[in-house]
A and B are shown apart, each in its own frame.
Chain A
Amino acid sequence: MILLSRAEETVLLAILGLGENAYGVTILEYIRDKTGIEWSLTQTYDPLKKLVKKGFAVKIKGEPTPERGGRAKTLYKLTKSGRAVLVEIRFVQDSLWAAVPKTLLAQ
């Protein structure tokens, strides 16, 4: 099993959820909207870098927009192994949750 940090896993899930429009600001907003936790930009760059390095995501140069002062977006896209690792994590989590007896869960 390949280990991902919580932050990496979160960011990777955000990229997955954002589809074609995953870059710094949208990732940030996605995480804020879905979890209610506001990250800072720098907090997203570190996991992003690591994900790229580990080969779970790739950088693609996007279109420049006026809000960005005419600068190009750097879009992130999930790779095959990135998708696989998310599936694997989810599988592990689900099986572990499923194994917990109902009585214990209720507490």
Chain B
Amino acid sequence: MIGYSGRPHALPPECGTRLLQRILPEHERAEIMGDLEERYQAKVYENNKAAARVWYWIHIVRLLAFLAKEHFYWSFIMWENNLIAAWRHIKKNLAYTGLNVLGLAVGMAVFIVIMLFVRTEISYDRYHANAPNIYRVIQENPGNIYLGSNLFALTPGPMAPAMVRDFPEVRTAMRINKSTEVLLRVAETNVIVKAIHWADPQIFEIFSFPLIRGDKATALKDPYSILFSEREARRLFGGDDPIGRTIIYRAGEQSHSFTVTGVFRDIPANSHFTMDVVAPFETMGKIQKRDLAQWGGGNSFYTYVLLKDGADPKALDAKLPAFIDKYRTDQQAHRRQKGHYFLQSLAQIHLSSRVNFELSPTGDARFVLLFASIAILVLIIACVNYMNLATAQSLKRAKEIGLRKVVGADRGQLVRQFLGDSMLLTFIALVLAVGIVLTVLPVFRSFVEREIAFNPLRDPALISGLVLLAAIVGAVAGSYPAFFVSAFHPITSLKGTGASKSKGRGLRNGLIVFQFAASIALIICTVAVRSQLRFIRNMDMGYERGQIVVLSPRGGMRTNLEAFRTELRRNPSVLDVAMSSDLPDRVGSTTKASWPGKPESVEIKMYVLDADYDFVDLFGLKLARGRNFSRDFLSDANGAFLINESAAKAIGWEDPIGREFGRWGNLKVAGKIVGVIKDFHMHSVHLPIMPLCIFLDPTRGDNVSVKIRGENIPATLAYLRKTWEKFAPEYPFEYNFFDEVFDRAYRSEQRLGTIFSLFAGLAVLIACLGLIGLASFTAEQKTKEVGIRKVLGASSAGIMALFSKEFIRWVVLANLVAWPVGYCAMRTWLQQFAYRTSLTVPMFLGAGLSTLLLAAAVISVQTCRAASANPADSLRNE
């Protein structure tokens, strides 16, 4: 042995010492650090300080590795042990675990499905490379409320080029417009395409619509060039190369020939508009003979601008009024146009826009929000359910926990153990939930009419989201049981007295109240939404909807309207035929009313509908005064109007019959008012009834409504088809039943009704799962008490009542919480309808009572077994 005494003491590196101080367990610290320091001295004097330092650090690293190995080894042993304990517990209580996992899985599946939907909704238009800099120009027209909104997506034709010219911050701009239901001729065959979009060539610069064939810089340069989407190209040309092919576009009597210059990739479903056929915007002006350079009228194009990086859209908004004034010199148009233009960012279009005349229907932010809140609610209910069951169950493990504590487990270890348990169950539930999602997603997809992708294996964001979800649910759901359990007193829990068994009951009951309150509130919402739907469906709209077939005439039907109608009427099953510009449930156009002696200052906006002689009778509109249009009065053909009661009231006429009336703000299109019809709902019941005038115009054939006999409808439809094919063989026969068209307008409400029913059902299911677990647990805990009661003469029914009372009390309390919540929520929702059902007491009582009965049934099934058990069995072993 070599001694070092007498030499100056060399301190090892300080940070190394401090590190060791930290990581070494206390009972080994003095030994190891002492040894190291002693050896360090020797190294310093045998070699030199630098070498000693290197040696010291090498040893620290070695020590670390050694300690880490030890740590993992032991925590693995512990983990294995916990896992075995958890597994034994699961195996012993398979039913409870099943209930628990099922509840979690259902809750998580609901959450996943809805969040997939929400993700789809907010992903709209975000895939464009330029997305943050793309804006749409829209206008706000104060006072001009059309179908509930005063925003319009339409802009004048010259706006886009003028903006590029005048504003340096605008990189480029484009216009787009569409023609629907277009007939094309491809290689001697007629094909109908849903729409042609007429767009400026800049479309491929602004939006990320990649071309598969053709060059995006030149594809739309030629005035008669045309591009197709991949799927449309496949439909029209099969496997042939579409480039250079000639397409004949038929507009009325004229034909125009286009050449295919490119194919673009299918527009993703999460775009606020889709297109399959694109042709140059300017060409539309030529074909439709529209003046695209006019600032005043013809306000019917969509303008998109691409701003330069860092440009402020608000600043540009502020410059727009002066810009419009500069160009719009037409005085009359100027005065008429009170609105102002502003930029709407691309990302906002799908969800936060309530703009009239969208290119394609958009989503609804409120709907998404509602969906998301229901999802979170259901997930919370599922978590609460888990807490409830797990806490109750943990009492059974009291002995295990007591023993662990006695053997030296600290609280942190127990918390970790029980959190681990809940994580294990949540991950099992996650696998189950993914299975549920995969099964229900196709149904859900068609239900919300969105293409929702669910492909966890190819979507790392999704998979990490799912894992995160399970981790959070596991942590939240497991947190309370873990802390509850780890607080057990080892002596009481090992003694097995009932002392600890009443623990946590207060919170469990609180959780039951919460679960049921949420379920009852959802049921109330369901009932209210359904009642409103029924109210709408049964409401007297003021017109008839049954047995009316609606056709949209095309081609030869349009040009020979009168002959078409005569032909239709020839069949005895056709009772009546009427032509009109709109159907009575959706009157689209508005006009400014005028009459002789109208003061300049008075301006009355009126919805206007053009119809023939038979329209009023066919739809069963009621007359309040005067008469219907009639072929017997020759004067009617020179101009005749019907107005509704609201219109008469708005103008202030006591007796409007015989008065002169005109539309478009002048008396050029004028006539006499022949009658007043009773108000009918010409829009959805979200909106109040507005003034309306019906102008006699037997030549308007936008909609042909055919009233048919109720018998033998297929034969009548076959006749309609035959007649259609006689007049327009190139167009496929299309028809709708008016009542179906009507129902479709309330699709979003129906969807809401279904969703509420579904989720309320699921929430109740989960709550009942929890109740089953708790009731049977209580019953099990109280077997001895039941035995003694029975020995002393209690009846089975009496015991069941005793048990049920405890739970029923909380469900009743849940009602008291749920009613005001449900009331407030539904009153707010109903406010959006101009005509609405009232919230009645039976709705609330019904929701409460049905839940109560269900809960009672669940409880009694569980307690029945305990109550009917033979007391001798339960008391025998002590």
Task: Give chain A's interface residues, CB within 8 Å of chain B.
Answer: 21, 23-26, 28-29, 40-42, 45-46, 64-69, 71-74
Whether the Cβ atoms of A66 and B9 lie closer than 8 Å is yes
B35 at the A/B interface (Cβ < 8 Å)? Answer: yes
Considering the complex, give the chain A residue whose CB is closest to the CB of B41. Answer: A67
Whether the Cβ atoms of B59 and A69 lie closer than 8 Å is no
CA distance A71 to B17 in the complex (A): 13
Considering the complex, give the chain A residue whose CB is closest to the CB of B62. Answer: A42
Considering the complex, give the chain A residue whose CB is closest to the CB of B29. Answer: A71
| CB 8 Å contact bits of B281-317 with A (1 = contact, 0 = none) | 0000000000000000000000000000000000000
Q: Among the listed A21, A40, A45, A71, which residue makes an inter-chain contact with B34, where contact means beta carbons less than 8 Å apart? A: A71
CB-CB contacts below 8 Å: B10-45 with A: 11, 30-39, 41-42
Known pairs A65-B38, A69-B11 / 19 extra A-B pairs, C-beta < 8 Å:
A24-B31, A24-B34, A25-B35, A28-B39, A40-B58, A41-B32, A42-B63, A45-B32, A64-B34, A67-B41, A69-B33, A69-B34, A69-B37, A71-B30, A71-B31, A71-B34, A71-B37, A73-B31, A74-B31
Whether the Cβ atoms of B9 and A67 lie closer than 8 Å is yes
Q: Among the listed A42, A45, A67, which residue makes an inter-chain contact with B38, where contact means beta carbons less than 8 Å apart? A: A67
CA distance A26 to B5 in the complex (A): 15
B54 at the A/B interface (Cβ < 8 Å)? Answer: no
Residues of B within 8 A of A40 (CB): 58-59, 62
Task: Give chain B's interface residues, CB within 8 Å of chain A.
Answer: 1-2, 4-5, 9, 11, 30-39, 41-42, 58-59, 62-63, 66
Residues of B within 8 A of A74 (CB): 30-31, 34
Q: Among the listed B4, B30, B41, B59, which residue makes an inter-chain contact with A41, where contact means beta carbons less than 8 Å apart? A: B59
Residues of B within 8 A of A46 (CB): 66
Whether the Cβ atoms of B39 and A41 lie closer than 8 Å is yes
The dominant DSSP class at the A interface is helix
Q: A42-B62, A69-B34, A72-B30 are in contact. Are A25 and B9 (CB under 8 A)?
A: no
Residues of A within 8 A of B66 (CB): 42, 45-46
User: What are 18 A-B pairs with beta-carbon distances under 8 A?
Assistant: A24-B35, A25-B38, A41-B32, A41-B39, A41-B63, A42-B59, A42-B66, A66-B5, A67-B5, A67-B9, A67-B37, A67-B41, A68-B37, A68-B38, A69-B33, A69-B34, A69-B37, A73-B34
User: Nearest Cβ distance between residue B336 and chain A, in whole angstroms?
Assistant: 91
Most A-side CB within 10 Å, residue of B2, B5, B66: B66
CA distance A23 to B28 in the complex (A): 13
Whether the Cβ atoms of A71 and B33 lie closer than 8 Å is yes
Residues of B within 8 A of A45 (CB): 32, 66
Q: A71-B30, A72-B34 are in contact. Are A26 and B39 (CB under 8 A)?
A: no
Residues of A within 8 A of B32 (CB): 24, 41, 45
Contact count A vs B, C-beta below 8 Å: 64
CA distance A41 to B64 in the complex (A): 12
Residues of A within 8 A of B63 (CB): 41-42
Residues of A within 8 A of B31 (CB): 23-24, 71, 73-74
User: Nearest Cβ distance between residue A10 and chain B, in whole angstroms?
Assistant: 17
User: Nearest Cβ distance between residue A54 and chain B, in whole angstroms?
Assistant: 17
Considering the complex, give the chain B residue whose CB is closest to the CB of A69. Answer: B37
User: Nearest Cβ distance between residue B31 and chain A, in whole angstroms?
Assistant: 4
CA distance A28 to B5 in the complex (A): 19
CA distance A42 to B62 in the complex (A): 7
Residues of B within 8 A of A68 (CB): 33-35, 37-38
Residues of B within 8 A of A24 (CB): 31-32, 34-35, 38
Most A-side CB within 10 Å, residue of B1, B4, B9: B1
Residues of A within 8 A of B35 (CB): 23-25, 28, 41, 68
Most A-side CB within 10 Å, residue of B4, B32, B58, B59: B32
Considering the complex, give the chain A residue whose CB is closest to the CB of B7. Answer: A67
Residues of B within 8 A of A67 (CB): 4-5, 9, 37-38, 41
CA distance A68 to B42 in the complex (A): 11
Residues of A within 8 A of B9 (CB): 66-67
User: Nearest Cβ distance between residue B57 and chain A, in whole angstroms?
Assistant: 12
CA distance A73 to B34 in the complex (A): 7
CA distance A39 to B161 in the complex (A): 84
Considering the complex, give the chain A residue whose CB is closest to the CB of B37. Answer: A69
Most B-side CB within 10 Å, residue of A28, A42, A66, A72: A42
Residues of A within 8 A of B38 (CB): 24-25, 65, 67-68
User: Nearest Cβ distance between residue B18 and chain A, in whole angstroms?
Assistant: 13
Residues of A within 8 A of B62 (CB): 40, 42
CA distance A65 to B42 in the complex (A): 14
CA distance A66 to B40 in the complex (A): 13
CA distance A72 to B37 in the complex (A): 12
Considering the complex, give the chain B residue whose CB is closest to the CB of A21. Answer: B1
Most B-side CB within 10 Å, residue of A24, A26, A67: A67
CA distance A45 to B36 in the complex (A): 12
User: Nearest Cβ distance between residue A41 and chain B, in whole angstroms?
Assistant: 6
Considering the complex, give the chain A residue whose CB is closest to the CB of B35. Answer: A24
User: Nearest Cβ distance between residue B48 and chain A, in whole angstroms?
Assistant: 18
User: Nearest Cβ distance between residue A72 and chain B, in whole angstroms?
Assistant: 5
Residues of B within 8 A of A71 (CB): 30-31, 33-34, 37
Whether the Cβ atoms of B1 and A29 lie closer than 8 Å is yes
CA distance A27 to B33 in the complex (A): 15
User: Nearest Cβ distance between residue B44 and chain A, in whole angstroms?
Assistant: 11
The 6 closest A-B pairs by CB, nearest first: A24-B35, A71-B34, A68-B34, A74-B31, A42-B62, A71-B30
CA distance A67 to B44 in the complex (A): 12
CA distance A41 to B28 in the complex (A): 13
Residues of B within 8 A of A29 (CB): 1-2
Residues of A within 8 A of B1 (CB): 21, 26, 29
